[in-house]
């Protein structure tokens, strides 16, 4: 499973890479820190999964999500954000996100998704309190 990480924080990207390094069958194919890089990587590398932040330079993750949805082969999209507000969650889910997690409380859920412990059918559940 080819994974692309899109987050403007190098620290967050490193933390995700460290967590996912222990998940079988996960191959990190790249990382992006802004919208333009994200769209380029998605077009060129065709990831199976995109881990995507909402706020970043050059636009936002919702812009990237809308661009992803235009592709013939759409990857699984995991929104991982410090802005877990209901209005952002709704916008992301409406734009095609499969999962929406709060960075401060649900970071490990990314591992659960990629290790197969959490199925796509859970994508419409509200984030935990």
Q: How far apart are CA 12 and CA 122, in angstroms?
A: 24
Give the model's confidence band at 119: pLDDT under 50 very low, under 70 low, under 90 confident, else very high. Answer: low
Looking at residue 121, its pLDDT comes to: 39
DSSP per residue, 94-114: HTT-SEEEEHHHHTTHHHHHH
Domain boundaries, the chain: 2-106
Structure tokens at 103: 């960075």
Structure tokens at 85: 């507000």
Q: How far apart are CA 84 and CA 102, in angstroms?
A: 5
Q: How far apart are CA 25 and CA 42, in angstroms?
A: 19
| Lookup result for tokens 């419409």 | 124
Contacts of 89 (CB under 8 A, 6+ apart): 79, 100, 126, 127
Residue 126, pLDDT above cutoff 50: no
Instruction: Give me the percent of the chain exceeding a pLDDT of 90.
Output: 73
Looking at residue 70, its pLDDT comes to: 82
Evaluate whether the domain defined by 2-106 bears CATH number 1.10.10.10.
no
Instruction: Give me the percent of the chain exceeding a pLDDT of 70.
Output: 90
Q: List beta partners, residue 55.
A: 60
Q: How far apart are CA 103 and CA 88, in angstroms?
A: 14
Residue 129, pLDDT above cutoff 80: no
């Amino acid at each position: 499973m080819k994974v692309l990480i899109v987050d403007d924080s190098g620290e967050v990207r490193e933390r995700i890479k460290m967590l996912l390094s222990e998940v079988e069958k996960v191959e990190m194919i790249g990382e992006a820190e802004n919208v333009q890089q994200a769209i380029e990587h998605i077009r060129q590398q065709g990831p199976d999964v995109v881990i995507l932040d909402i706020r970043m330079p050059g636009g936002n993750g919702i812009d990237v999500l809308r661009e992803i949805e235009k592709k013939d082969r759409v990857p699984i999209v995991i929104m991982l954000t410090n802005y877990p507000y209901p209005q952002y969650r709704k916008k992301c889910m409406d734009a095609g996100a499969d999962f929406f997690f709060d960075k401060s409380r649900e970071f490990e859920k990314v591992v659960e998704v990629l290790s197969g412990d959490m199925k796509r059918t859970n994508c419409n559940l509200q984030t935990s309190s």
